[in-house]
Amino acid sequence: MNRPYMVPGTCREGFQTVPGIRSSVPKIYTRGTTMKNRLKPDLFLNTVYELDTGVLKREGIEAIIVDIDNTLVSWDTKLPDEKVTGLVCRLASEDFKICILSNNTKKRVEEFNKDLKLPAIHKAVKPSKMAFKRAMKLMDSKVKNTAVIGDQLFTDVLGGNRLGLFTILVSPISSKEFIWTRLVRLLERLILKKIK
């Protein structure tokens, strides 16, 4: 019998989850298409907190790679809030492994992850395949049972799709971002109009 994957120092017995954390049936769900567009996610969500773990379990997902900025918290939020902790605890209680994968700096990732104590990779250079492979190695997971959650098509979704992972695109939490990211968002919006 496999031991449950728990997050040290974060989750306790009887923890409370955040209300409204589960979603209804996802608007678009495309896994299994034969000519999969590398920029088309398998699942679109308004927010990571709408994540329905039932969908993941039906797809055989056991491990989750997740971005920080504008996915879990806004770009300028330094520490995880109660919603992040609640999500991490809920996923851990359902035996999902979790790894943070961020293009941000070591300082940013380590500060955010100080209390969560999740496996984490900084300066990932997404959409590099190597970054996602490193994350899977940390979780001891495989392509067939790993999902990626992020807010950007050209880093999170493209990187995950290049390996054949289950990709989930969420709407960015905040419009406050690096100047380069704001420029990329213009192109993202054009592409999203075609693939949604």
Round the average pLDDT of the chain to a whole number and report it: 82
Token code pair at residue 99: 């790894």
Instruction: Look up residue 180 and give its amino acid.
Output: W
User: Mean pLDDT across the stretch 112-136?
Assistant: 97
Which residues are bridge partners to 82 per DSSP?
Answer: none
110, two tokens: 């380590």
Residue 83 has pLDDT above 90, yes or no: yes
How confident is the model over 24-45, as pLDDT tens digits?
334 444 454 433 478 899 999 9
Contact 39, 121 (CB under 8 A): no
Residue 13 has pLDDT above 80, yes or no: no
Number of residues that this document lists for the chain: 196
pLDDT at residue number 148: 98
Confidence of residue 172 (pLDDT cuts 50, 70, 90): very high
| Backbone angles phi and psi of 63, in degrees to 5 | -135, 145
Cα-to-chain-centroid distance, residue 93:
17
pLDDT value at residue 67: 97
In CATH, what class is 43-195?
alpha beta
- Is 50 exceeded by the pLDDT of residue 7? no
Distance between CA atoms of residues 181 and 196, nearest Å: 21
Query: Per-residue DSSP letters for 143-163?
Result: GGGEEEEES-IIIIIHHHHHH
- Examine the pLDDT at 192 and tell me if it is beyond 50: yes
Average pLDDT over every residue of 136-140: 98
Mean pLDDT, range 60-77, rounded to an integer? 95
Query: What does the pLDDT read at residue 16?
Result: 36
Which tokens hold the place of 71? 């996915």
